Structure 1
Amino acid sequence: MEATRLALAWCSLETWQPPALAVLCRSVEVRRQYGAALLPACREVAALERHDLKCLAYALAVLDEETLVVLHEPTGTGFEIRIGGIGDNFQLHTLLAHVLIGGGHVPGTAPSAESVRLATDPAPAQGRTETVTTGAFELLAPDGERLWNEGLPDDIPVVEGRRLLVLGEPAYRRGWNADRFFPHLPGTAELTRVLPADEARAWFGRTAFAGSGGVGES
């Protein structure tokens, strides 16, 4: 009987994904309460390659009210940016460009207003659009390894208790559809602080880009 129950549970696993996503995408409290506990188990099951649980894993990994330390390697500047509700690094990339380039803090071409709206609109996304946004940065880990747009903000390494992201010059021109991964989950990104020059240099010193950090605002 127990074997039958487990077999039925295994076979019906994917049918539970849509209702779980519906709750996770609408409740910060649920994500906070269950995300960290369930994500490892979800990834273990997904690794068996018998069930497609990518969406569930992404939803469980969503960061809320998370402050990133973001270093812009070409200018040597640093920032604290608080993010939430972001489904993947494509969406993160768009919002970082909006905050930093659109806000006049670093040079470059800011994403279009429509790209930003698609990433942040509280109303659920209605179908797929043809809006394309172009990458402004190379997303890098502190050791210089690339963080792929297909990945998650949760992939950003933690250094001394803070998630630390380095933005480099893009290795090549790349565009992507601006629709967000979770239609019912609006993303947020807010600049909370521009790091003083000495603090930016100190953070750069914890990365493979230790020669940067000389142009920060004081």
Structure 2
Amino acid sequence: MVAVIVGACVERGADAAACAPAVFAGARDAFEAAEVFRARWRDAGRGELPAHEGEELTDEDVERVGFEPVMAWQALPQYEMACVAMLNSKDVRLKAAGKQELRAVAARVEEASGETFKCLSYAVAVLDDEPLVALERATGAGFLSRMSGIGDNFQLHTLLADAGEAPSPKAVAQCRDQPGTTPTTGSFNLVGADGEWIWNEGNPSDIPVVDGVRVAVVDPAPYRRSWDAGRFFPGMTGELVLERVLTEAEAGGLLAQVAESVH
């Protein structure tokens, strides 16, 4: 609960960089204790893991598993909320200690329990100052951009759209730093260098790397897809800045290394 209060203070202007290390450390400890909870719960033959609210937990369960592991399991949603509040800050994402350790232990708990901490997983996977090349397969044109603070590929798709049925200026603004969402229809399909679709439900860290840079191939949309354009993390500013148009040789060299869509 203290971590949630700290997160609320950060959302109201407190120094995220100063607060993040302690919040990350507390969250890491909670996830490590949650691993103990899961193992003891399994060893006790208790079956499916309980909800974090813990209404079904009995005094006998607490005695068998241990008070601290139980409290840690119940605290995970609150710690997830507090960590995302810290990770809304680009400075924290780039510099704060403890982020990768937190990511590793949270991933272990997810894998072992089947539990999904999607907001935390996406927040620690956010890329900053990351180069992205978009290649238009039909024309051979290539564009080098730099992206920061983009939470999912719905947001990326909207910011990339500059041809076809382009999103409204309002939708683009809401994917950058303005509140709210706007219904939007996609104008193309994004494909990785491996030929696999870059699903909007994923995030930019899923995009394969070619010659040290993430490459997204722009193909015609196979069908109409619509979504509410906006930010996955409302408190995180999204940026996609065009740096330059690739030369014909550069774009052609990259296109020669990408596969056709496998779908």
- Output the TM-score relative to the length of structure 1: 0.82
C-alpha RMSD of the superposition: 1.9
Task: Please say which structure displays the higher CA radius of gyration.
Answer: 2
Offset at 1:66? 0.5
Distance 2:204 2:236 in 1: 15
Correspondent of 1:197 among 248, 253, 257: 248
Pick closer, same or farther for the CA change 1:169–1:36 going to 2, 3 Å: farther
Which residue identity lines up with residue 31 of structure 1 in the other structure?
A: R
After TM superposition, where is structure 1 displaced by more than 6 Å over at least 4 residues in a row?
A: none
Per the alignment, residue 79 of structure 2 pairs with 16
Structure 2 partner of 1:39: 103
CA distance in 2, matches of 1:36, 1:111: 35
Instruction: Decide which of 200, 213, 216 is 1:162's aligned counterpart.
Output: 213
Query: Shift of residue 72 of structure 1?
Result: 1.1
**Which structure would you say has the larger RCO, counting Cα contacts within 8 Å and 6 or more residues apart?**
1
Runs of at least 5 residues in structure 2 that lack an aligned partner in the other structure = 1-35, 37-64
What amino acid is the match of 1:43? A
- Aligned residue for 2:193, secondary structure, equals coil
Q: What is the CA distance between 1:31 and its match in structure 2?
A: 1.5
Indicate conservation of the 8 Å contact 1:35/1:61, yes or no: no
Partner of 1:113: 169
Q: CA deviation at 1:179?
A: 2.6
Give the total of aligned pairs: 194
Measure how far apart 1:164 and its partner are: 1.5
Q: CA deviation at 1:49?
A: 4.4
Q: How does 1:200-211 map to 2 (within 5 A)?
A: 200-209=251-260
Question: Runs of 5+ in structure 1 lacking a partner?
Answer: 102-106, 210-218
Do residues 134 (structure 1) and 185 (structure 2) align?
yes
- 1:73 is aligned to 137
Task: List per-residue Cα deviations over 1:24-77 (Å, max 9, x = no partner).
Answer: 11x223222444443343233223445441001111011111011211112111
Equivalent in the alignment of 1:62: 126
Q: TM-score, normalised by structure 2?
A: 0.68
